Protein backbone atom coordinates (compact mmCIF):
# COMPACT_ATOMS: atom_id res chain seq x y z
CA UNK A 1 0.00 0.00 0.00
CA UNK A 2 1.24 3.46 -0.94
CA UNK A 3 0.68 5.94 1.90
CA UNK A 4 1.48 9.62 1.39
CA UNK A 5 2.09 11.81 4.43
CA UNK A 6 1.62 15.43 3.37
CA UNK A 7 4.63 17.55 4.34
CA UNK A 8 2.56 20.29 5.95
CA UNK A 9 5.37 21.33 8.30
CA UNK A 10 3.88 19.97 11.51
CA UNK A 11 6.07 19.02 14.47
CA UNK A 12 4.33 15.64 14.72
CA UNK A 13 5.39 14.33 11.31
CA UNK A 14 8.20 12.14 12.66
CA UNK A 15 5.98 10.54 15.29
CA UNK A 16 3.26 9.85 12.70
CA UNK A 17 5.84 8.16 10.47
CA UNK A 18 6.99 6.00 13.40
CA UNK A 19 3.39 5.10 14.29
CA UNK A 20 2.84 3.92 10.72
CA UNK A 21 6.10 1.96 10.78
CA UNK A 22 4.88 0.15 13.89
CA UNK A 23 1.94 -0.98 11.76
CA UNK A 24 4.31 -2.20 9.04
CA UNK A 25 3.73 0.75 6.70
CA UNK A 26 6.51 2.86 5.20
CA UNK A 27 4.80 6.14 4.33
CA UNK A 28 6.27 8.69 1.95
CA UNK A 29 6.65 12.22 3.35
CA UNK A 30 5.94 14.46 0.38
CA UNK A 31 4.81 17.80 -0.92
CA UNK A 32 4.54 16.45 -4.46
CA UNK A 33 0.99 16.61 -5.85
CA UNK A 34 1.44 13.63 -8.17
CA UNK A 35 2.73 11.34 -5.41
CA UNK A 36 -0.24 12.38 -3.28
CA UNK A 37 -2.71 11.68 -6.10
CA UNK A 38 -1.11 8.29 -6.80
CA UNK A 39 -1.18 7.14 -3.16
CA UNK A 40 -3.70 4.60 -1.85
CA UNK A 41 -4.11 6.56 1.41
CA UNK A 42 -3.21 10.17 2.26
CA UNK A 43 -2.61 11.58 5.76
CA UNK A 44 -2.58 15.32 6.46
CA UNK A 45 -0.91 15.97 9.84
CA UNK A 46 -0.65 19.38 11.43
CA UNK A 47 0.75 20.88 14.62
CA UNK A 48 0.68 24.66 14.39
CA UNK A 49 -2.10 27.10 13.55
CA UNK A 50 -4.72 26.65 10.87
CA UNK A 51 -3.40 29.74 9.05
CA UNK A 52 0.19 28.50 9.05
CA UNK A 53 -0.65 25.01 7.79
CA UNK A 54 -3.03 26.35 5.11
CA UNK A 55 -0.25 28.76 4.12
CA UNK A 56 2.12 25.83 3.77
CA UNK A 57 -0.38 23.96 1.60
CA UNK A 58 -0.74 27.02 -0.62
CA UNK A 59 3.05 27.35 -0.91
CA UNK A 60 3.20 23.74 -2.07
CA UNK A 61 0.22 24.31 -4.41
CA UNK A 62 -1.62 21.41 -2.77
CA UNK A 63 -4.95 23.00 -1.86
CA UNK A 64 -6.78 21.94 -5.04
CA UNK A 65 -4.98 18.58 -5.03
CA UNK A 66 -6.44 17.80 -1.60
CA UNK A 67 -9.85 19.23 -2.44
CA UNK A 68 -10.10 17.00 -5.51
CA UNK A 69 -8.38 13.93 -4.10
CA UNK A 70 -10.05 10.65 -5.04
CA UNK A 71 -8.31 8.56 -2.36
CA UNK A 72 -9.16 8.27 1.35
CA UNK A 73 -7.77 11.24 3.28
CA UNK A 74 -7.17 11.43 7.04
CA UNK A 75 -6.55 14.78 8.71
CA UNK A 76 -4.85 14.71 12.13
CA UNK A 77 -5.16 17.46 14.76
CA UNK A 78 -4.93 20.77 12.85
CA UNK A 79 -5.03 18.60 9.72
CA UNK A 80 -8.55 17.54 10.74
CA UNK A 81 -9.58 21.15 11.39
CA UNK A 82 -8.44 22.09 7.88
CA UNK A 83 -10.98 19.65 6.43
CA UNK A 84 -13.73 22.11 7.43
CA UNK A 85 -14.90 25.21 5.60
CA UNK A 86 -13.36 27.74 7.96
CA UNK A 87 -11.46 28.13 11.20
CA UNK A 88 -11.83 30.90 13.75
CA UNK A 89 -8.09 30.52 14.35
CA UNK A 90 -6.90 33.40 12.20
CA UNK A 91 -10.31 33.49 10.46
CA UNK A 92 -8.88 31.34 7.69
CA UNK A 93 -10.62 29.62 4.79
CA UNK A 94 -9.89 25.89 4.91
CA UNK A 95 -10.31 22.99 2.47
CA UNK A 96 -14.11 22.87 2.67
CA UNK A 97 -14.36 19.07 2.49
CA UNK A 98 -16.56 18.85 5.60
CA UNK A 99 -19.32 21.38 6.32
CA UNK A 100 -18.88 23.54 9.39
CA UNK A 101 -16.60 25.96 11.16
CA UNK A 102 -13.87 25.24 13.70
CA UNK A 103 -14.21 27.42 16.83
CA UNK A 104 -12.18 28.14 19.93
CA UNK A 105 -12.99 25.97 22.93
CA UNK A 106 -14.86 27.99 25.57
CA UNK A 107 -12.79 29.43 28.40
CA UNK A 108 -13.99 29.21 31.98
CA UNK A 109 -12.51 29.07 35.47
CA UNK A 110 -13.00 25.29 35.49
CA UNK A 111 -11.56 24.57 32.03
CA UNK A 112 -7.94 24.91 31.01
CA UNK A 113 -7.16 25.91 27.42
CA UNK A 114 -5.41 24.44 25.52
CA UNK A 115 -7.05 21.10 26.11
CA UNK A 116 -3.99 18.96 26.71
CA UNK A 117 -3.86 15.33 27.82
CA UNK A 118 -5.94 12.18 27.81
CA UNK A 119 -9.71 12.30 27.44
CA UNK A 120 -12.49 9.79 26.89
CA UNK A 121 -14.23 9.07 23.61
CA UNK A 122 -17.95 8.59 23.01
CA UNK A 123 -19.12 6.71 19.88
CA UNK A 124 -21.97 8.53 18.11
CA UNK A 125 -22.46 6.35 15.04
CA UNK A 126 -21.08 3.16 13.56
CA UNK A 127 -18.15 3.52 11.18
CA UNK A 128 -15.44 1.22 9.89
CA UNK A 129 -13.01 4.00 10.88
CA UNK A 130 -13.76 3.57 14.59
CA UNK A 131 -14.27 -0.20 14.65
CA UNK A 132 -12.81 -1.63 17.87
CA UNK A 133 -12.89 1.69 19.73
CA UNK A 134 -15.36 1.61 22.61
CA UNK A 135 -17.14 4.17 24.78
CA UNK A 136 -14.77 5.35 27.50
CA UNK A 137 -11.60 4.54 25.56
CA UNK A 138 -9.06 7.33 25.91
CA UNK A 139 -7.04 9.33 23.41
CA UNK A 140 -4.43 12.08 23.71
CA UNK A 141 -5.39 15.65 22.73
CA UNK A 142 -3.52 18.93 22.35
CA UNK A 143 -5.69 21.74 20.94
CA UNK A 144 -7.43 25.03 21.62
CA UNK A 145 -9.88 24.93 18.70
CA UNK A 146 -12.36 22.21 17.82
CA UNK A 147 -14.98 21.18 15.30
CA UNK A 148 -18.67 20.94 16.22
CA UNK A 149 -20.56 17.70 16.76
CA UNK A 150 -22.59 17.21 13.57
CA UNK A 151 -23.91 14.30 11.53
CA UNK A 152 -20.34 13.72 10.27
CA UNK A 153 -19.06 13.07 13.81
CA UNK A 154 -18.14 9.43 14.55
CA UNK A 155 -16.58 9.89 18.01
CA UNK A 156 -16.96 12.88 20.30
CA UNK A 157 -15.19 14.05 23.42
CA UNK A 158 -15.88 16.79 25.94
CA UNK A 159 -13.83 19.65 27.35
CA UNK A 160 -16.28 22.19 28.67
CA UNK A 161 -18.35 21.48 25.57
CA UNK A 162 -18.80 18.42 23.36
CA UNK A 163 -16.61 18.47 20.25
CA UNK A 164 -15.81 16.20 17.31
CA UNK A 165 -12.95 13.81 18.11
CA UNK A 166 -13.26 11.74 14.90
CA UNK A 167 -15.23 12.62 11.78
CA UNK A 168 -15.94 10.91 8.52
CA UNK A 169 -17.66 12.20 5.41
CA UNK A 170 -17.29 9.80 2.50
CA UNK A 171 -13.60 9.32 1.73
CA UNK A 172 -12.61 12.19 4.06
CA UNK A 173 -11.83 11.42 7.72
CA UNK A 174 -10.29 13.32 10.60
CA UNK A 175 -8.99 12.76 14.12
CA UNK A 176 -8.71 15.71 16.49
CA UNK A 177 -6.60 13.62 18.87
CA UNK A 178 -3.09 12.47 18.08
CA UNK A 179 -3.29 8.79 17.04
CA UNK A 180 0.51 8.58 17.10
CA UNK A 181 0.41 9.40 20.84
CA UNK A 182 -2.79 7.56 21.76
CA UNK A 183 -1.45 4.02 22.33
CA UNK A 184 -3.83 1.21 21.31
CA UNK A 185 -6.72 3.51 20.41
CA UNK A 186 -4.53 5.53 18.06
CA UNK A 187 -3.01 2.42 16.50
CA UNK A 188 -6.48 0.99 15.93
CA UNK A 189 -7.71 4.16 14.25
CA UNK A 190 -4.70 4.24 11.93
CA UNK A 191 -5.05 0.54 11.17
CA UNK A 192 -8.74 0.97 10.35
CA UNK A 193 -7.91 3.89 8.06
CA UNK A 194 -5.29 1.83 6.26
CA UNK A 195 -7.23 -1.43 6.01
CA UNK A 196 -10.95 -0.71 5.86
CA UNK A 197 -13.00 0.23 2.82
CA UNK A 198 -13.29 4.00 3.13
CA UNK A 199 -13.99 4.88 -0.50
Query: What does the DSSP 8-state code read for residue 69?
Result: -
Given the residues 64, 143, 178, 195, the one annotated as active site: 178
Q: Which of 18, 19, 94, 13 is nearest to 52 (CA)?
A: 94
Cα–Cα distance measured from residue 166 to residue 147, given in angstroms and rounded to the nearest whole number: 10
Catalytic residue among 115, 143, 159, 180: 180
**Residues in the chain, total:** 199
* Of 77, 89, 115, 153, catalytic: 77
71-81 b/e (C-beta count within 10 Å ≥ 16 → b): bbbbbbbbbbb
Q: How far apart are CA 129 and CA 113, in angstroms?
A: 28
Judge whether 178 counts as a catalytic residue: yes
Mark whether 94 is an active-site residue: no
Q: What is the DSSP string of 22-65?
A: HTT--PEEE--HHHHHH-SEEEE---S-HHHHHHHHHHTT-HHH
Q: Let me know if 26 is a catalytic residue.
A: no
Backbone torsions φ then ψ of 22, nearest 5 degrees: -65, -25
Catalytically active residues are 77, 178, 180
Amino acid sequence: MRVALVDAGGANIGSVLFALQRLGVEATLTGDAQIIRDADRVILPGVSTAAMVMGRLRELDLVETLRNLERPLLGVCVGMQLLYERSEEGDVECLGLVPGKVAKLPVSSAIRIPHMGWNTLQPLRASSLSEGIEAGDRAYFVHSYAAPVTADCVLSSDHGVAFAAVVRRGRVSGAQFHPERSAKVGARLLQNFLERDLA
